[in-house]
Amino acid sequence: EISEDWILEIDFNINILTYLAINEAEDQYNEIIHVLFPNVLKTKNRFDGQFFLDELCKHSLHFGRYKAFTKAYQSYRKEVEQ
């Protein structure tokens, strides 16, 4: 059985963060973010969720993917707010 926090158990590692940060396909990046954010927001451990998002921002910036990250996040927020 997969726990509610499955995304954090699987994705709290540098390999996933690096993949997300250097991925060149903005559509794919956007899709990943739309799956990732809701799962991070659902986690019961707010500290872990915030840590993951902070690390994602840091690595996205480091690998020059911050613009794609920001666009994906804005798109996600727009959908959530509707």
Query: What is the pTM for the complete model shown?
Result: 0.52
Span 12-26, average pLDDT = 62
**Over the chain, what is the mean pLDDT?**
69
Find, among 4, 24, 34, the residue nearest to 68 by Cα: 24
Per-residue confidence (pLDDT) for residue 81, from 0 to 100 = 75
Beta carbons within 8 Å of 32's beta carbon, 6+ residues apart: 20, 23, 72
Asked if the model's pLDDT at residue 31 lies above 50, the reply is yes
Query: Rounded distance, CA 52 to CA 14, Å?
Result: 10
Asked if the model's pLDDT at residue 50 lies above 70, the reply is yes
